[in-house]
Amino acid sequence: MTCVLEARSLTKTYDTGGVEVDALRGVDLAVQRGEFVAIMGPSGCGKSTLLNLLAGLDRPTAGEVLLDGERIDELSETELARLRRSKVGFVFQFFNLVPTLSAVENVELPLLLVGRRRREARRSANALMGDLGIGDKHGTAPLLLSGGQQQRVALARALVNEPAIVLGDEPTGNLDSAATREVLGLLRAARDRGQTVLVVTHDSRVAAAADRIVTLRDGRVAEAAALEPPRPVTLPFES
């Protein structure tokens, strides 16, 4: 298996007005292609910091981040932006859709940003929205959609340019249980199609959908547990 995303001895120290706070204290993590990984841990354990470093949204104090085999912690802002556009898809808790654009315009945005032709981009966006069960929502403004539908649009936007990895920050944090199930189903389907998925979550149900759960505590990896394929479930009937 090839490693899509790798953290090596990552540390991150924030200087908060003269007081140094260690958010990460040496994190090693390797995400394989086609894997679905969940990062869990109590608030303040460093999971959001880790996600930001892995996404190239912030720089580590020490250590390395490799995306698709390339060091990203030393890249310039321009290079980082280029890399993120082509290799990373993001799904956020609050969807972060552009409210003035229609659903399909949101989905095709990443393709236009990497220079794809408008017609071709529209065709890909439409096809993917159909696959995700929101084919009838092309022209709708995001705010007129339900939370679950907005997250599907956001997921389509994250997947449309077939990024090396899809990163999620509490992707179901704002959804009810039915919509959570739908989004989890879509993330699993993306994994089954060979996409790599990494989500940060405190929802055990989301984590249970992953192949591996990495738990952070006080800025360190406290535990990494691989989950097995689902076991059969039956009622404990005794005669």
> 4: closest CA among 112, 149, 163?
163
- Check residue 207 for interaction with another protein (CB under 8 A): yes
For another protein, the binding residue among 159, 213, 216, 221 (CB under 8 A) is 213
Residues 168 and 199 sit within 8 Å (Cβ to Cβ) = yes
Query: What DSSP string runs through 38-74?
Result: EEE-STTSSHHHHHHHHTTSS--SEEEEEETTEE-TT
State which of residues 9, 42, 114, 127 lies at the interface with another protein (CB under 8 A). Answer: 42
Strand order in the sheet with 220-226: 88-92, 165-169, 197-200, 36-40, 212-217, 220-226
77 vs 238 by CB, closer to another protein: 238
Q: According to the binding rule CB under 8 A, does residue 43 interact with another protein?
A: no
Query: Is the Cβ–Cβ distance between 23 and 13 less than 8 Å?
Result: yes
For another protein, give the closer residue by CB, 84 or 212. 212
Of 85 and 217, nearer to another protein (C-beta) is 217
5, 54 in Cβ contact below 8 A? Answer: yes
By CB under 8 A, tell whether 176 contacts another protein. no
Q: Does 208 bind another protein (CB under 8 A)?
A: yes
- Contact between 145 and 129 under an 8 Å Cβ cutoff? The reply is no
Which residue lies nearer to another protein by CB, 164 or 199?
199
Contact region with another protein (CB under 8 A), list: 20-28, 116-124, 135-143, 199-207: 199-207
Residues in 177-196 at the binding interface with another protein, rule: CB under 8 A: 177, 181, 184-185, 188
Pick from 209, 214, 216, 221: which binds another protein (CB under 8 A)? 209
Of the candidate residues 71, 117, 193, 205, the single one contacting another protein (CB under 8 A): 205
**Residue 221 Cβ, how far from another protein at the closest point, in Å?**
12
183, 177 Cβ separation under 8 angstroms: no
Distance CA 106, CA 47 (A): 27
CA dihedral of 102, 107, 112, 117, whole degrees rounded to 10 = -90
Given candidates 2, 43, 78, 234, which one binds another protein under the rule CB under 8 A?
234
Under the binding rule (CB under 8 A), the answer on residue 71 touching another protein is no
Residue 1 interacts with another protein (CB under 8 A)?
no
What is the DSSP code string of 182-225? HHHHHHHHHHHTT--EEEE-S-HHHHHTSSEEEEEETTEEEEEE
Q: If binding is defined by CB under 8 A, does position 235 make contact with another protein?
A: yes
Q: Footprint of another protein on this chain (CB under 8 A)?
A: 42, 177, 181, 184-185, 188, 204-205, 207-209, 213, 223, 225, 227-228, 230-239
